[in-house]
Amino acid sequence: MGSKTALPDYQFNVAEIGAETEDLPEQALELVHRMQRYVGRSLKNKWALITIVTGSEEFCEKCEPPSRTSIRRALGVLRRGLPRALIVLLGPVHVASTYRQNINLMRPRCKCLEKMTGKDYRKLFDVWKTYFVDLETEFNVNNGTFGVLSIPSLAIHSRNPQSLLVPGKPLLNRKGHSYAAKWLWNRLIAGPNYNISLIALSEDTYYCPSLGCPYIRTVQNFKSCSIMTEDTWQKQMTKLKEQRTGKQARQEVIRTNLVGVICAILGLSMLSVLIFGTYFYCHGMKATKGRFDYGKTQTEIEAELQEENK
């Protein structure tokens, strides 16, 4: 993670090497102060995406549950200082082989975890997961502008998982960080249903938000904003079209063929003008009186005068 002084303050990175969950409240305060200093009064009207990555070193070195109180205090600080924010709470890293995804290769690199039995290890991880889920439930309020998305474990798999780790240390190398970034992005876009067990992460692509639901999947929007494959969408549309009858079906035909309908109307209008225009023109050529002439014409008057003179 480096040091919080390694990058300029305006990049808002307050991560520290060796930091534990007990240090989160202080880091949250530092982040809020930096954002208030550089963003100013408009901060309360701006949205922020904040990622809290915690637990990997603490989980590895101490084999203890996280400080639930400290995480809760940190989230409270962020909620007061950043009322429009989505907090991604990310737990310990889990690196495994694609072929044995339940075996965490971090364990042999952690003296504490290495001594634990498989049962105790799973029990400890369940405690972390329970704490994260409980905090997510507590801080997510319907129609609120502050939300928490808990991901208890950052699980990345590879056919060559050792290539993702720093030799002899429970740390990700540059390649491992790129895998983790891809996994996290796809998890945020796809939601909890994101599953890499059937495809190697190296072959997977960065997901794009769907047009119908262009959002990060949160607790609030996940149920009402689901992802579907193109085949599923086509089937739904076909079924919907079959159900439409009568006036609704005609309106749908008009909408889908709007250009053709407009061209047909213009064509019929021009044909009508041509037919009626030709008819009235021919009729006018045969007429002996003008359109606005009333009574006898000058020729008729002269003919009558000649008759009288005779």
Q: State the Cα angle at 271 between 270 and 274, rounded to 5°.
A: 85
Per-residue pLDDT, 73: 96
Per-residue pLDDT, 132: 94
Per-residue pLDDT, 69: 94
CB-based contact 55:15 (threshold 8 Å): no
Tell me, what amino acid is at 10? Y
Structure tokens that stand for 183 in this block: 């996994």
Q: Left (φ > 0), alpha (ψ -120 to 50) or beta: where does 168 sit?
A: left
Q: HSE on the CB side for 220, CA within 13 Å?
A: 14
Q: What are phi and psi of 61, to 5 degrees?
A: -85, -35
Residue appearing with tokens 């400890």 = 124
The string of pLDDT tens digits covering residues 257-289 is 777 878 888 888 888 888 888 877 777 666 665
Beta bridge partners of 87: 50, 148
> pLDDT > 70: what percent of the chain?
82
The string of pLDDT tens digits covering residues 134-151 is 999 999 877 688 999 999
Task: Tell whether domain 9-227 is in CATH 1.10.340.
Answer: no
Per-residue pLDDT, 112: 85
State the Cα–Cα distance between residues 155 and 180, nearest whole angstrom: 8
Beta bridge partners of 89: 52, 150
Residue appearing with tokens 């405690």 = 127
Count of C-beta atoms within a 10 Å radius of residue 244: 13
Positions of the chain with pLDDT lower than 50, given as ranges: none
Calculate Rg over the CA atoms of the chain.
37
State the Cα–Cα distance between residues 203 and 209, nearest whole angstrom: 19
Count of C-beta atoms within a 10 Å radius of residue 131: 22
Q: What are phi and psi of 155, to 5 degrees?
A: -100, 110
Q: What is the DSSP string of 159-197?
A: SSGGGGB-TTSS-B-HHHHHHHHHHHHHHHHH-TT---T
**Portions of the chain given CATH number 3.40.50:** 9-227
Per-residue pLDDT, 67: 92
Tell me, what amino acid is at 238? T
Count of C-beta atoms within a 10 Å radius of residue 292: 5
